[in-house]
Amino acid sequence: MQGQYFKATQAHSPYDVVAWHGNYVPYKYDLTKFCVVNSVSYDHLDPSIFTVLTCKSTRPGTAVADFVIFPPRFAVQQNTFRPPYFHRNVMTEFIGLISGHYEAKKEGFMPGGASLHSMAIPHGPDTATVKRESCRVDEPERVAEGTMSFMFESMFQMKVADWALNKDGKVDENYYKAWEDMPVTFTESE
């Protein structure tokens, strides 16, 4: 906790009870059974449509934690950019890849990998995805096939442990290069 290991012992299991109150019970959920909601007209909808579980906060529009997945699904929107778009959040996003490839960064983001986007930090698809998807024909297609990625979103700042940043040797020091050759698509008007 807070970057430190700790040990706690107790004489009994927290599950050694006669009954549970409310929804405080351990639960195993098969993410492949999640029924995906999606746009059937235009525009890539906000990722909150993929929320599996949420822990509400006292502030409307924010959560202590949302657990979101990006499972295989159909994309049928027309006249729009289908992958996750460029944005900034009022909440912090921690995105991880369980299997397959992440639809907004197919190269370099491997299963078991994760990235942290703190609140107000701009982020979005890599250059290769933008170039590929900007030229795509608008036809219905299956996306994220064989893939499962997740996101924890929270109104709180998240801190990466020192071990993860400095000691495990797995930080991608060139991650930022995925956006270096981004094509300029807007010009100043006169």
Which two three-digit tokens encode residue 86?
A: 């460029």
44 flagged as catalytic: yes
In a domain, 85, yes or no: yes
The domain in which residue 94 lies consists of 51-159
In a domain, 137, yes or no: yes
21 assigned ligand-binding residue? no
Strands 63-70 and 51-56 turn out to be antiparallel
In a domain, 97, yes or no: yes
Which two three-digit tokens encode residue 4?
A: 């430190």
24 assigned ligand-binding residue? no
Q: How far is CA 61 from the centre of its chain?
A: 18
Q: How far is CA 4 from the centre of its chain?
A: 26
In a domain, 174, yes or no: no
What is the reported pTM? 0.76
Alpha-carbon span 101 to 98, nearest angstrom:
9
93 assigned ligand-binding residue? yes
In a domain, 19, yes or no: no
Which two three-digit tokens encode residue 153?
A: 């979103």
Number of folded domains that form the chain? 1
pLDDT 10s digits, 122-171: 888 889 988 888 888 888 999 899 999 999 999 999 888 888 888 777 78
87 assigned ligand-binding residue? yes
pLDDT 10s digits, 35-66: 988 888 877 778 888 999 999 999 888 899 99
Question: Has residue 20 got a pLDDT over 70?
Answer: no
In a domain, 128, yes or no: yes
Classify residue 123 by its DSSP letter.
B
What's the CATH number where 130 sits?
A: 2.60.120.10
Say which of 12, 21, 44, 101 is annotated catalytic.
44
pLDDT score at 54:
92
